[in-house]
Amino acid sequence: MQVFIRCIDVANFIRKNQEVTVHEIYEHFQGKGYYSKIEANAKRAIQRDLKEYIPEYVKAEIIKKPKKRYAIRFREEEMFKISYKNLNFLSLNSELRREFNKYISLDIRNFRHLDKLEYFYNAINNKKRLKFEYTDYLDNSRNVELSVYGLKENDNRWYAIGENHLKQDENGINEIYRFALDRVNSIEETIYESNRPEAFEIEKIFENLYGIVFESDEPHQRNQGSIPIVFFAEPRQASYIISTPLHHSQEYLHVNNKENGEDGTIFKLQVANTYDLRMRFLSYAHKAVILEPECFRNDVVKMLEDSLRNYHDKPIFNIPSGPYNFDNPKK
């Protein structure tokens, strides 16, 4: 644990200063407790870090320069791996997590399936298909053979997007779909070449979307494309939406008419009407109001009406009656 943290710190120090000597590293980290107080011993340990540990833990190349100076070069292909391995290390190492939790609150749920990222990333680099078992949220399992197009993080969950060779649409074309990595099991790289287009850009797929749900997932929205959505938000909610935009197309106008008592912000988005977007507006509750178009407004109103029914006499689900015993709950 100590070696891991030390290597990260030393690598960042070299990166920020471009070139450093062993003596400069020794002086900078004297108060950290990383190295011996005896200078000769400390410098031998620093040399070992530069030669062995930093290349191993940080996935970087230490470059010897004239006048006994050192630079660092991060291997581009490894940058992705170190990012998830560091996070996965935090999720597994309870001692290190306790140390971090004194200063930083981490949602460990986010790290549960990061170990699977490497399989999908390597499949893209190796231009090979992956084979795995996928279990959806209704516990239905199916086999998938995927040409991985890209990876996307959304709402603390990672997804692989690609072409499934074991499922075709009504026209006989392989399904393009996204798979939640926490639902993937028994991953195996195949010998078959991937169909990933060379010019593919993951952001193009999500250019007109909010969230992860495709427009094609909802037959009544299919081929509708992006639409202009206009909504009002009260001042406090508006400040949050301005600081954390819903979508790259977001525009807004402040409204402050004291004579009429009008105060708030009018927003405009150019985005597809998808389930994820409707759920986002439900989360705003009474703090935001959809103004147009009517089709999107009606979709959200229907969801609000169904929500109210669940709290009154005619719920839309058959909700089990209590009392509820949580002596042996699942986690």
**Cβ pair 134, 142 in contact under 8 A:** yes
**Tokens, residue 282:** 């439900």
Residues of each domain in the chain carrying CATH 2.30.30: 113-205
Q: Which of 117, 112, 118 is nearest to 91 (CA)?
A: 112
To the question of domain 220-310 being in CATH 1.10.3470, the answer is: no
Contacts of 12 (CB under 8 A, 6+ apart): none
Quick one: pLDDT at residue 82? 53
Q: Using CA atoms, how far apart are residues 291 and 272, in angstroms rounded to an integer? A: 16
pLDDT (tens digit per residue) in 21-35: 999 999 888 877 788
Q: Using CA atoms, how far apart are residues 119 and 116, in angstroms rounded to an integer? A: 6
The CATH code for residues 113-205 is: 2.30.30
Quick one: pLDDT at residue 105? 61
Residues of each domain in the chain carrying CATH 1.10.10: 2-74
| Start-to-end Cα distance in the chain | 28
Listed as ranges, residues in the chain with pLDDT below 70 are 1-2, 75-115, 215-224, 256-262
Quick one: pLDDT at residue 221? 46
Topology of domain 2-74 in CATH is: Arc Repressor Mutant, subunit A (1.10.10)
Across 190-217, b (16+ Cβ under 10 Å) vs e yields eeeebebeeeeeeeebbebbbbbbbbee
Q: Give the angle 262-279-294 at the CA atoms, nearest 5°.
A: 55
Q: Which of 107, 184, 113 is nearest to 148 (CA)?
A: 184
94 residue type, one letter: S
In the sheet where 184-193 sits, what is the strand order?
Answer: 174-180, 157-168, 141-154, 128-135, 184-193
Q: Which of 121, 135, 237 is nearest to 189 (CA)?
A: 121
Contacts of 190 (CB under 8 A, 6+ apart): 128, 129, 130, 131, 145
pTM: 0.66
pLDDT (tens digit per residue) in 208-262: 899 888 766 554 444 457 899 999 999 899 999 999 899 999 999 987 666 666 6
Find where tokens 């620093």 sit: 46
Contacts of 191 (CB under 8 A, 6+ apart): 128
Contacts of 188 (CB under 8 A, 6+ apart): 130, 131, 132
Quick one: pLDDT at residue 94? 54
**Cβ pair 62, 11 in contact under 8 A:** no
**Cβ pair 293, 229 in contact under 8 A:** yes
